Amino acid sequence: MSQPDQSERRARIQRRSSAARIYAVQALFQMEAAGQSAERVETEFRHWRIAAPDADGPGIESPEADEELFGRILDDAVTWQARIDQMTDRALVDRWPLDRIDPVLRAVFRAAGAELMAAKAPSRVVISEYMRVAEAFFAEGPEVKLVNAVLDQVARAARPEAFGA
């Protein structure tokens, strides 16, 4: 495989992974806001949102995503939600309760926490990726800095061995 082919392939994998993370945050938000089950929301996303024609408007196809990563994030977020929420609560500045923060931020923390608990990607990669996800929802606002600070603490709690503790 030539160098341009490899870099193009890596870029495609990165785009699909990033899209999976954004979809996972949207799905987790929807689960909480509408009180829907993970199974129902995951099915909806797989059939009608991920890479669906006109999902983002007439003539616009929503991005394709790494559906395996998307499913794994949702499954792990549901499985580990109590632990993720507990670690996030501890990491929030001034003990601001998790249930009082923006629901999109809660979804970001839960999706990132799921990836940190699964330990498939390096902590720094997970933090960077979810800072980008936060930027997609909040532009350059203070929420992005909050995501960085909280996820750094959550990563240290979830993977102390990666930080020399």
Structural domains of the chain ordered from first start: 6-160 (1.10.940.10)
Q: Which of 102, 89, 159, 98 is nearest to 125 (CA)?
A: 159
Q: Phi-psi category of 97—alpha, beta or left, where left has phi over 0 and alpha has psi -120 to 50?
A: beta
**pLDDT tens-place string over residues 19-41:** 999 999 999 999 999 999 999 99
Average pLDDT over residues 137-143: 86
pLDDT of amino acid 3: 63
What would the pLDDT profile of 76-93 be if each residue is shown by its tens digit?
999 999 999 999 999 986
Query: pTM of the predicted model, to two decimals?
Result: 0.88
What is the rounded distance in angstroms from the CA atom of residue 69 to the CA atom of residue 8? 20
